[in-house]
């Protein structure tokens, strides 16, 4: 997203000197935040405000089965929530200020997992995943609350390849820039799961992997929240500024 350039002549007494106006393009990047299972858009709002200050349009939202639709949580499936994300993406992309070729998706845990499928269905330039979860491909339309937690613990500790899991296969196809954030003391998403994701991004333009020291899955400590915010805002700043300078 290079700047628009306009040559001008500047009057000085009886002469003219040459000048050039450099102005930002009208369209700006968009950032979609996707929260995790049991979460909400509330924690994303503060980060979205910071990123909006960079000149981006941000959208946060609540997945079905959360907050105002909590009563539906027993029935929502991964398919239902993926449709939520697609609808939210389309709403963001339709914003008149958005550059549709410069959309970033920030997903946490369950939201990060589902965001990988979004990249196969919609254009995504930048993808940030914090402690992305991983699920078996089977029972896709089964209500998420009915999935076997103990089985998931075993599955997430396995070494998996893109051909073993559809989410990892989506990662293998992604050619944009990636941020992968891990929590050091995560009891839900083991290091092996993070490495499964990391090794799957075979075609990414760039891959940044960061670990939040001392953090649990939910970033319960305020210092961990701040550390993640710093990592995310720094990375988005690098990506957005790079794109605006034409290095995207």
Compute the distance between CA of residue 138 and CA of residue 216 in angstroms, rounded to an integer: 28
pLDDT of residue 55: 85
pLDDT of residue 243: 72
pLDDT of residue 246: 60
pLDDT of residue 244: 64
Q: What are the domain boundaries of the chain?
A: 27-244
pTM: 0.90
Residues of the chain short of pLDDT 50, as ranges, are 1, 248
pLDDT of residue 27: 84
pLDDT of residue 24: 60
Which residues are within 8 A (CB) of 14 and not within 5 positions of it... i.e. 6 or more apart?
none
Cβ contact 43:113 at 8 Å:
no
Compute the distance between CA of residue 162 and CA of residue 136 in angstroms, rounded to an integer: 12
pLDDT of residue 11: 83
pLDDT of residue 86: 94
Spelled out in words, what is the top-level CATH class assigned to the domain 27-244? alpha beta
pLDDT of residue 152: 97
Label residues 26-43 b or e (16+ Cβ within 10 Å = b).
ebbbbbbbbbbbebbbeb
């Amino acid at each position: 997203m290079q700047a628009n350039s306009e040559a001008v002549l500047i009057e000085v007494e009886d002469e003219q000197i040459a000048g050039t106006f450099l102005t930002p393009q009208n369209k700006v990047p968009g950032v979609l935040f996707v929260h995790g299972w049991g979460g909400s858009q509330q924690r994303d709002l503060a980060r979205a405000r910071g990123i909006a200050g960079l000149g981006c349009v941000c959208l946060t939202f609540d997945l079905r089965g959360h907050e105002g639709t909590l009563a539906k949580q027993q029935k929502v499936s991964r398919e239902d929530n993926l449709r939520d994300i697609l609808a939210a993406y389309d709403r963001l992309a339709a914003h008149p200020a958005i550059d549709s070729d410069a959309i970033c998706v920030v997903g946490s845990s369950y939201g990060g997992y589902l965001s990988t499928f979004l990249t196969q269905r919609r254009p995504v330039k930048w993808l940030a995943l914090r402690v992305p979860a991983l699920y078996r491909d089977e029972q896709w339309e089964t209500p998420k609350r009915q999935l076997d937690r103990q089985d998931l613990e075993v599955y997430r500790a396995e070494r998996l390849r893109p051909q073993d899991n559809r989410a990892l296969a989506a990662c293998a196809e992604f050619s944009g820039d990636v941020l992968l954030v891990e929590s050091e003391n995560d009891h839900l998403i083991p290091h092996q799961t993070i490495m499964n994701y990391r090794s799957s991004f075979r075609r990414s333009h760039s891959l940044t992997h960061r670990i939040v020291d001392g953090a649990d899955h939910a970033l319960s400590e305020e210092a961990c929240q701040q550390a993640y915010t710093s990592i995310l805002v720094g990375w988005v700043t690098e990506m957005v500024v790079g794109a605006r300078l034409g290095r995207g």
